[in-house]
Structure 1
Amino acid sequence: MKKAVFITGPTSSGKSELAVYLAKKFNGEVINADSRQVYKFLDWGSGKITKKEIGNVKHHLLSIASPKKNFSLGRWLKEAKRIAFKLIKKKKLPIFCGGTILYLKALKEGWQLPQVKPNYKLRRELEKLSNEELIEMIKKINKNGLINLDFKNKRRLIRRLEILLAQKKIEPLKKNPEFDLLILAPLLPKETLFLKIKERLIKRVPKIIKEIKKLRKIGLSLKRIISFGLEYEWFGRYVAEEIGLEEAIQRCYQETLRFAKKQIRELLKIKEVNWVRSKEEAIVLVSNWLST
């Protein structure tokens, strides 16, 4: 299997900074593994790395998709693998970077996803249902249909139903791992992480609001903006005058804390994750791994 690094971790933990640092040290390029950062115009709300922070390190799969259309896990897998193999041929180290744990699992385990074309008529009908109703429908079709599914993500619930109804059943997930992944995650004390989350959020508030107003101008509905979650949900509601600014900030902060805790819990279940306290520790791990 081909070697690649995957930097993951909770939001605001310093993943992007570590990825850039390792890319410079080991002749690497960075492949985005954040499900929101693939979209154009979702910059400040998604915590996308800035041009200044990128420097001269090549990044892939950032700002490549229209926010008006869904960017699927299958498409990310296909593009991410294509880029990684291309980098390996050029004797460069692929460094995946992002906190979307579903992407990490799919790449690590070599998921072979079912090919089911979008059914837009069905999607419009399913959009009218609540998440709870969608979950019940999935259960009735196949009790295993809820495996690896975020119950709060309506878009993914609908996609799972779309696949189920097309196949009448969930086929056993085919797996064919193609990469020897070294998985790294920055380790911060919880108090430090939570403070960073708060400071980072407060600093970005004006730019997030401006960004959401721009998204409305280019034709995105409030419903679509809210579907991107966290910052886009709460500041989207503020821009729509549904809630006040202080409430938006507080709710977004609390929701982001819950999200970070969930990320940590999920990563603790993955035994291959190496938690690193410093860049120097990461360098030692990468050096030793590359020499094997």
Structure 2
Amino acid sequence: MTSLEKEKVIVLIGPTAVGKTNTSIALAKKFNGEIISGDSMQIYKRMDIGTAKVTSEEMEGVPHHLIDIKNPEEPFSVAEFQQLVRKKISDIHSRGKTPLIVGGTGLYIQAVLYDYQFTETPADEHYRNELEMKCEKNGSLWLHKELVKIDPVAAMNIHHNNTRRVIRALEVYHCTGKTMTEYQQTQSHDLQYNAVLIGLTMDREKLYSRINLRVDLMIDQGLIEEVKGLYDAGLRDVQSVQAIGYKELYGYFDGTISMERAIENLKQNSRRYAKRQLTWFRNKMDVAWFDVTDKSRHSKNIEDISEFIAGKLQLKSNK
């Protein structure tokens, strides 16, 4: 199938706090589009502030998909995301609309666009339980260092607090002799869609300043109360509360750190995550980058991005 015969997809990526939401709404209006969230945490209900979930007002009437589809105690995998998004792409096309995937979770978006096959890798429950007990005894940093020894690339992309993913990566190696990175390298890099990938970037210091400000705004909007609700509901060793913005405040509720330290950790982890996002996108995906440092040029940036998309996908844009 040639690229012209494949379904057309616009993908908008970039680090946290760079301004993807506003840009995506403008592009959706330009290209008669509907937005599919490419964020691995916005799928969860009751996690609105910490995930910077788009509000109904911000949507400005543009349909959004894959938001609030899971309860916080439920797991969610890349394979499930791939399946759901591909169905949404076909559905949106069937109604004569243009799908826009918008988000910052690189592996999830990559799995949709390329021919990633998710076969069941062998599992060893006894080994997994053993790792869980060792982690409880020695801490998540010790566990993460075990992964660094065998797969430093995967370790760089998995936060040490995300013990579920760290253990899974160790389990895959234990069962197969192949690291998670080696497994991913065997995946096909053939695009499944006629896709254009747009990346938003900005001056690093300005981005970090925006991240710090965003965290302060989240606190003002009620982030502490939002996380306390999950904490009080007994949600602990589940995927959702490993997200940045949630795990840091759990330390405060546990009484191990002060609120000031928890907020500072949240800012620091968000800045580090933004750096990891940019590294991933630049190393793994063929992206056309647009610098959006100067927010007074927002309209001109939208115009430039729209022209680029229209040329690549042969799409007509609304003026």
TM-score bracket for this pair, using the shorter chain length: 0.7 to 0.9
Alpha-carbon distance, 1:247 to partner: 1.3
- The equivalent position to 1:282 in structure 2, one of 290, 293, 305, is 305
- The equivalent position to 1:6 in structure 2, one of 6, 11, 19, is 11
SS at match of 1:197: helix
8 Å CA contact 2:45–2:68 kept in 1: the answer is yes
Report the equivalent of 2:3: none
Identity within the alignment, %: 28
Amino acid at match of 1:155: R
Report the equivalent of 1:173: 186
Structure 1 residues 272 and 220, CA gap change in structure 2 (3 angstroms): same
Alpha-carbon distance, 1:120 to partner: 6.9
- Distance in 1, Cα, partners of 2:80 & 2:52: 22
Report the equivalent of 1:27: 32
Please give the TM-score of this superposition, normalised by the length of structure 2: 0.79
Alpha-carbon distance, 1:133 to partner: 4.4
- The equivalent position to 1:213 in structure 2, one of 213, 228, 247, is 228
Do structure 1's residue 155 and structure 2's residue 155 form an aligned pair? no
* Cα distance per residue 1:80-104 (max 9 Å; x no partner): 1111111122221110011001112
8 Å CA contact 1:38–1:62 kept in 2: the answer is yes
Structure 1 residues 69 and 119, CA gap change in structure 2 (3 angstroms): farther
- The equivalent position to 2:263 in structure 1, one of 246, 249, 252, is 249
Alpha-carbon distance, 1:4 to partner: 0.4
Q: Which runs of 5+ in 1 are unaligned?
A: none
Q: How many residues align?
A: 289
8 Å CA contact 1:184–1:273 kept in 2: the answer is yes
Do structure 1's residue 264 and structure 2's residue 278 form an aligned pair? yes
* Stretch of structure 1 that moved more, 116-125 or 254-263: 116-125
8 Å CA contact 1:122–1:162 kept in 2: the answer is yes
- Distance in 2, Cα, partners of 1:137 & 1:57: 42
Alpha-carbon distance, 1:13 to partner: 0.5
Report the equivalent of 1:107: 112
SS at match of 2:51: coil
- Distance in 2, Cα, partners of 1:100 & 1:137: 21
- Distance in 1, Cα, partners of 2:203 & 2:88: 34
- Distance in 2, Cα, partners of 1:160 & 1:33: 22
- Distance in 1, Cα, partners of 2:98 & 2:267: 35
Please give the TM-score of this superposition, normalised by the length of structure 1: 0.86
Report the equivalent of 1:127: 132
8 Å CA contact 2:147–2:166 kept in 1: the answer is no
Report the equivalent of 2:47: 42
8 Å CA contact 2:23–2:302 kept in 1: the answer is yes
- Distance in 2, Cα, partners of 1:147 & 1:246: 28
Amino acid at match of 2:15: P
8 Å CA contact 1:28–1:93 kept in 2: the answer is yes
Alpha-carbon distance, 1:107 to partner: 2.5
Alpha-carbon distance, 1:117 to partner: 8.7
The structure with higher relative contact order (CA 8 Å, sep 6+) is 2
* Cα distance per residue 1:104-138 (max 9 Å; x no partner): 22233321111359877765443223354477489
Structure 1 residues 163 and 269, CA gap change in structure 2 (3 angstroms): closer
- Distance in 1, Cα, partners of 2:31 & 2:52: 25
Q: Which runs of 5+ in 2 are unaligned?
A: 1-5, 293-300
Amino acid at match of 1:214: G
Amino acid at match of 1:22: L
* Cα distance per residue 1:222-255 (max 9 Å; x no partner): x548852321122222233322222122121112
